[in-house]
Amino acid sequence: MAQPKPLGERTLDAQALRQDRRGAEKFDQCGLGARAIYMGSAVTPRRFYVPYESVTNVFRRVAVSPGSGKGFMTPILYIVVRYDDGKEYQCSFRYIQDADKMMERLGREHPEISLLSPTAEKEKKEKEEREEAVQSQPLSADAAHAVRVLEDAGWVLEKRPALTTALAGTARVKRTLDNIKPAYTAIAIGVLIGGLVLILAGIAVRLSGGNASIAVVLALAGAAMMFVMGNSKVLPTPKRNRKALQRDYTNAVNNMAAYLKGEKNFPLPAWYAHPYVAQRMIRIIREHRADSVEGAMAVLKEDLKKMDNSVALTGDDYTQVVTIKPLFLVRDYA
């Protein structure tokens, strides 16, 4: 195993580096050791490192593939390490959960490192000042009542996190699959078949006494094609196809509806029942953009429609929007 290379000016001696990397917890292409953060290159995981003493910020950066303007299209998440007074290195993550776990551990074990970019820190301070100004403004009787109703709704939903997680998760996966065009599936199937043909061709060449190197190259190329397509999430599977995901989503909505059945005059429909929805509606009312639950829901829908792939979000805003927007997209905002 090649030794990681330092990104910054500070380094670890060879023995300490070897022990630290061996004990580092892996998070996709990155890792957290006892003494350093490890970042992946384009092809090699944990290829570089930065000692914690050099790190000032570790934060998320989000890019998205070109879309139709109707919603977030294939978000690409990066973790960015800022070190040596302004230098940055970023590493992409395939799964948001891995990035979240890495950031959670980093925040717990290294509170001296900011988990926001310098720009986000400034925006957070400005946002807190605006929030404080908004909170200080009195609400009308109707608006205050709507806030209390939504706060109660959020508390009810937070008691059953498994239901809200299932609802948001199935909506997100369903939305992703709905966005996969049939042509892409056909291409993936074609590549998969092509990979199988190459493997069989390699076997045939070897059995017929042909060049062994050619046989190996054919088989490896075919296996690589099949592996890439198998992990592309484009091909349907017994558990990941439109019919199965529609069933899972319907069950999640029905389970939420059954839970809320005993709640009199619950303000949110079961398919939008998520604490983040209630929180954003409360913010809308406190910003005096609506003075009722119905009005806040209408404003929230308009806000979400505008948050397409051209809108950059960070921190809590990003987490909330990517969690709840699929809930609205799969219902076409109805």
The pLDDT, as a whole number, for residue 241 is 72
Note the pLDDT of residue 71. 44
Residue 233 phi/psi, 5-degree rounding, is: 65, 15
- Report the alpha-carbon distance of residue 9 to residue 24 in Å, rounded: 21
CB within 8 Å of 118: residues ≥ 6 apart? 57, 82
Count the Cβ atoms, other than its own, within 10 Å of residue 205: 19
d(CA 166, CA 171): 8
Q: Are strands 5-6 and 48-51 parallel, antiparallel or unpaired?
A: parallel
Instruction: Judge contact between 328 and 272, C-beta under 8 A.
Output: yes
User: For residue 103, what pLDDT is reported?
Assistant: 93
User: How far apart are the C-alpha atoms of 315 and 107, rounded to whole Å?
Assistant: 14
User: Which residue pairs, CB below 8 angstroms and at least 24 apart, start in 193-198?
Assistant: 194/222, 194/225, 195/221, 195/222, 195/223, 195/224, 195/225, 195/226, 195/229, 196/222, 196/226, 197/222, 198/222, 198/225
> How confident is the model over 51-96, as pLDDT tens digits?
999 999 999 887 655 444 444 445 578 899 999 989 999 998 888 8
pLDDT score at 160? 93
Of the candidates 62, 89, 75, 65, which has an alpha carbon nearest to the alpha carbon of residue 8? Answer: 89
Positions in the chain short of pLDDT 50 = 66-73
Q: Which of 90, 99, 104, 256 is nearest to 171 (CA)?
A: 256
The Cα 282–Cα 153 span in angstroms is 11
Burial class (CB in 10 A: 0-12, 13-18, 19+), 66: exposed
CA dihedral 193, 197, 198, 202 (to 10 degrees): 150
pLDDT at 57: 95
pLDDT of residue 313: 63
Element spanning 61, H or E: strand 55-64
- CB contact set of 187 (below 8 Å; sequence gap of 6+): none
User: Which among 327, 297, 323, 325 is positioned nearest to 146, based on CA atoms?
Assistant: 297
Give the DSSP letter string of 177-190. Answer: HHTS-HHHHHHHHH
